[in-house]
Structure 1
Amino acid sequence: MGDADRKLFVLDTNILLHEPFSIYSFQEHDVVIPMTVLEELDRIKDSKRDVSRDARVAIRALEDIFKEATPDEIGEGIAVGKGDATGTVSILADFEIKETVHAFADKAGDNRILNAVLYLQTKRSPRKVVLVTKDINMRLRAKGAGVMYVEDYRTDQLIDDVRLLTKGFHQFAGSFWDKVGECNSQAYGTETLHTLPSELLDTPFVNQYLLDDSDDFAARVQAIDGDKAVIKDLSRERLMHRVAWDVKPKNIYQGMAMDALLDPSIDLAILTGPAGCGKTILAMAAALEQVVEKGMYDKIIVTRNTPDIGESIGFLPGSEEEKMLPWLGAVTDTLEALHMHDECTDGSMRYIMEKANLQFKSINFMRGRSIQNAFVILDECQNLTASQLKTIITRCGEGTKLVCSGNLAQIDSSYLTPVTSGLTYIVERFKNFEGSACVYLNGVVRSRLAEFAEENL
């Protein structure tokens, strides 16, 4: 590969906050970190923002590369990578660049980064100099200022359009069995398994649910072996009669979700869908059923990402669980709904929370833990990055079931989009893992008002 073929990637600050180890993702090309980016990372690492940890991780990653290098070597670039895919990472002293971009004065940091890209574009021609940023407005400003190549960071982006994200089930037009010729069926106790050619299924994966237009057929892919697929016959009637803590599915999508939540062979259940489709109440009902009634798990842990508490409504008093209560209102609302017909709702809730050993935990304190024999509900996953979700999932030890739920239309993080959300990432990454199942809960069942709002607003 000639020197002219090697690209120069200039990273914006938000790339290192989104993925602190992104410096290793550019293989045989060269990465340039402007000094302005280091200054911005320095300001963020000491802040109380939820990205301060990512800033510190990125700084440590850079320190590991540059700790024994001389100033000249840092300017030239330090080799990273292995084998033929060896690129370099360098730091550019952009404050020495005198050429300026005429833009808003309050964006001095962005302007210095743009100056650095334009400077490299001129000095390193004919090499491609690419600005990589997740800031859409920065990409527009860069193009307007004369930057030839501007890209988003897509290394952790598995799909280009969120509409392509798997729903966890496939619905066949007409009758499924009319499409099937010969089929080998075997009964194992109450289970019936069918072995048939995998080409009959549309891009099958393990634990994918199968439906058709009839009122009877429903199945789940049990295994895929070359050109053969084994499916487990479920039937719609059986799915619609799954019950957990007196909660029954209101539609077939909730029936599939309930099946995944109650199946002990599934360690990770991912529930996606619009607001009001029943994600939280199904997860909570399944958790109570399996912890209190069946004793399959020792406790229920509920956690979610907490935005900057100090900046929004001030610091909250009390213990960790008391501080978490405002952010877990969806769960306490769900518990109240499950026991609203009891003689004393408050008394029932207190009794059940104690009986189920229900714990509210902040995601910030999950790192380093090992969670055993627990039913873990991770709510509002759409606001987490892939690396944050990895941190949580790797906490789960033996006998633990994890339920991740979220709505990609309700992302609050300014650093994430539906295609870069950690929820999208795990749906695609765990698609072929035999211990996970994903269900998109189509349809709003909360109320006719919520349903109309979801469809028309």
Structure 2
Amino acid sequence: MTDSTPKYYILDTNILLHEPLAFLNFDEHHVVIPMVVLEELDIIKDRQRDVSREARTAIRSLENALKDASPEEILNGVPLTQIQGAHHAAGTLSIFPDYQLKQQDAVLNLSENDHRIIQTALALQQQWPHTKVVLVTKDINMRLKAKGTGVKYVEDYRTDQLIDDIRFLSKGFVEIEGDFWEHVGEVTSVQQGRDTFHEVARDVLPTVFHNQYVIDDSGHFAAKVVGYDEHHVRLHDISYERMMGYRAWGIQPKNIYQGMALNALLDPNLDLVILTGPAGSGKTLLALAAALELVVEQGVYEKIIVTRSTPEIAESIGYLPGTEEEKMAPWLAAITDSLEVLHKQDESMEASLNYIMTKANIQFKSLNFMRGRSIQNAIVLLDEAQNLTASQLKTIITRCGTGTKIICSGNLAQIDSYYLTAVTSGLTYIVERFKGYSGSATVNLNGVVRSSLAQFAEENL
């Protein structure tokens, strides 16, 4: 058996909920959908939850692929090449009648859906002993159970994984050891007004992308990549002092990482800014301060829309009293906490908060109601983005219309979703996908500035 030999991939329900068209992403291999997966999709599609939309989309997609096939063809496999669209699927799609499986003492109890999917993998593994049979699921515990019962190959869904190790995730900046100029040979410098630009050899920065920051250990050099080709990299020399001198709504950076973040946040030419980093590094505070500065002081945008990922929100928000903003308030306490920090020195903090909420037109919105909207001339603050999938983030980002800036922030060490990991998180996905987009910037905020206690806890717990 070689790598090009067609394999059998058995998909769990959560794969189709994660990406309804996932069965088209296995190239020349055969995709198998256990009957119990269709039963679970049927139950989920009628629930009053956001995931129900994905269930209905998956059902329609499967029906479109199998509608002209006979029962025998569906059991044996329907060629995916007959499905129109931009895909490279050249294998087959089949439904496995797992209800025909008989309970055996050596296997898991077939009364549970997960166990029926695992038993499907075991049955196909026995039926095709010389072919690789792979169970694909995002459920970590199910992967463990499958391996424990004898399934040889069990994998997570990797089509939307752009990196294999979170340590390779782009930080949005390069930190040069020692003095930056010691690593540079020939350089061409140009002065344009108050701005200085340098062109250095590509060898100095072999891995480079738009709006990537460059700093060094000397504490003097700080620049941003504004262009590059095969031989040269063009840098905008911002300088360390200037980077540390940024100010937004009374907030100044406490370290160079916050300085780089403020540079990106205050740049109206950037449509997307992604902030990653540990708890207490200042992601939410900096994003809110920059948003207030751009809306109230500079008038670049008309309003601030605040939203965030809340795993339980689809089930519970409808039962809370009040307007949408009032229902969202418990999950957006981080924003109101940051507003209090920004105005704690005011004579009447409550009056200031009320004034700013009105002046900046701050709106709290649920992710459930973002779909289908077109947001114009606004700053969108998306907090806790690590709990979103790539498709969910795509839904939100594609809502942003003319003159809109979106700020995504999240901590990949605090993922609450059952099926997401740091590698599969949508936040990781967009960091890697948008590296080549000239209208975006990423900054990883190293260091905890909330308090010495928070820093000690981050480093030692």
Range of TM-score over shorter length: over 0.9
Aligned partners of 1:300 and 1:377 also within 8 Å? yes
Aligned partners of 2:317 and 2:328 also within 8 Å? no
Amino acid aligned to 1:37: V
Q: Tell me which residue corresponds to 1:6.
A: 6
How many Å apart are 1:101 and its aligned residue? Answer: 6.3
* Cα distance in 2 for residues equivalent to 1:386 and 1:114: 27
Report the CA distance shift for 1:396/1:453 in structure 2 as closer, same or farther (over 3 A).
same
Residue 283, structure 1, aligned to residue 287, structure 2: yes
Q: Tell me which residue corresponds to 2:145.
A: 141
Aligned partners of 1:101 and 1:115 also within 8 Å? no
Q: Tell me which residue corresponds to 2:424.
A: 420
* Cα distance in 1 for residues equivalent to 2:310 and 2:63: 29
Residue 109, structure 1, aligned to residue 129, structure 2: no
TM score, norm. by length of structure 1: 0.96
How many Å apart are 1:84 and its aligned residue? Answer: 7.5
Counterparts of 1:153-302 in structure 2, within 5 Å, are 153-302=157-306
Counterparts of 1:350-365 in structure 2, within 5 Å, are 350-365=354-369
**1:23-65 deviation line (CA, Å, top 9, x unaligned):** 1100111100000111112222233454333222222221221
Amino acid aligned to 1:293: E
SS of 1:372's partner is coil
SS of 1:430's partner is helix
Report the CA distance shift for 1:100/1:153 in structure 2 as closer, same or farther (over 3 A).
farther
Aligned partners of 1:101 and 1:145 also within 8 Å? no
Q: Tell me which residue corresponds to 2:384.
A: 380
How many Å apart are 1:107 and its aligned residue? Answer: 6.4
Q: Tell me which residue corresponds to 1:26.
A: 26
How many Å apart are 1:124 and its aligned residue? Answer: 2.6
Amino acid aligned to 2:355: Y
Residue 89, structure 1, aligned to residue 93, structure 2: yes
SS of 1:444's partner is coil
Amino acid aligned to 1:164: F
TM score, norm. by length of structure 2: 0.95
Aligned partners of 1:206 and 1:434 also within 8 Å? yes
How many Å apart are 1:85 and its aligned residue? Answer: 4.7
Q: Tell me which residue corresponds to 1:37.
A: 37
Q: Tell me which residue corresponds to 1:400.
A: 404
* Cα distance in 1 for residues equivalent to 2:429 and 2:111: 32
How many Å apart are 1:263 and its aligned residue? Answer: 0.8
* Cα distance in 2 for residues equivalent to 1:283 and 1:429: 21
* Cα distance in 2 for residues equivalent to 1:43 and 1:264: 46
Report the CA distance shift for 1:309/1:395 in structure 2 as closer, same or farther (over 3 A).
closer
Aligned partners of 1:210 and 1:220 also within 8 Å? yes
Deviates more, 1:383-392 or 1:154-163: 154-163
Report the CA distance shift for 1:308/1:107 in structure 2 as closer, same or farther (over 3 A).
farther
Counterparts of 1:307-456 in structure 2, within 5 Å, are 307-309=311-313, 315-456=319-460
How many Å apart are 1:105 and its aligned residue? Answer: 3.9
* Cα distance in 2 for residues equivalent to 1:4 and 1:174: 48
**1:266-286 deviation line (CA, Å, top 9, x unaligned):** 110000000010001100010
SS of 1:431's partner is helix
* Cα distance in 2 for residues equivalent to 1:242 and 1:8: 56
Aligned partners of 1:50 and 1:307 also within 8 Å? no
Counterparts of 1:44-59 in structure 2, within 5 Å, are 44-59=44-59
Q: What are structure 2's unaligned runs of at least 5 residues? A: none
Instruction: Report the count of equivalent residues.
Output: 457
Deviates more, 1:362-371 or 1:380-389: 362-371
**1:209-231 deviation line (CA, Å, top 9, x unaligned):** 10111121001111111211101
Q: Tell me which residue corresponds to 2:79.
A: 79
Q: Tell me which residue corresponds to 2:15.
A: 15
How many Å apart are 1:388 and its aligned residue? Answer: 0.2
* Cα distance in 1 for residues equivalent to 2:12 and 2:192: 57
**1:54-97 deviation line (CA, Å, top 9, x unaligned):** 22222222122122322222112222247985111111111112
SS of 1:204's partner is coil
Deviates more, 1:400-409 or 1:221-230: 221-230
Amino acid aligned to 1:113: I
Q: Tell me which residue corresponds to 2:64.
A: 64
Aligned partners of 2:211 and 2:225 also within 8 Å? yes
Aligned partners of 2:110 and 2:116 also within 8 Å? no
* Cα distance in 1 for residues equivalent to 2:152 and 2:426: 30
Report the CA distance shift for 1:428/1:310 in structure 2 as closer, same or farther (over 3 A).
closer
SS of 2:305's partner is strand
Aligned partners of 2:103 and 2:109 also within 8 Å? no
How many Å apart are 1:188 and its aligned residue? Answer: 1.3
Report the CA distance shift for 1:85/1:108 in structure 2 as closer, same or farther (over 3 A).
closer
Amino acid aligned to 1:13: T
Amino acid aligned to 2:66: F
* Cα distance in 1 for residues equivalent to 2:37 and 2:104: 17
Deviates more, 1:184-193 or 1:416-425: 184-193
Amino acid aligned to 1:24: L
* Cα distance in 2 for residues equivalent to 1:118 and 1:99: 13
Report the CA distance shift for 1:309/1:425 in structure 2 as closer, same or farther (over 3 A).
closer
* Cα distance in 1 for residues equivalent to 2:215 and 2:188: 19
What is the identity percentage for the equivalent residue pairs of Structure 1 and Structure 2? Answer: 63
SS of 1:5's partner is coil
Deviates more, 1:217-226 or 1:13-22: 13-22
Q: Pick one of 110, 120, 144 that aligns with 2:124.
A: 120
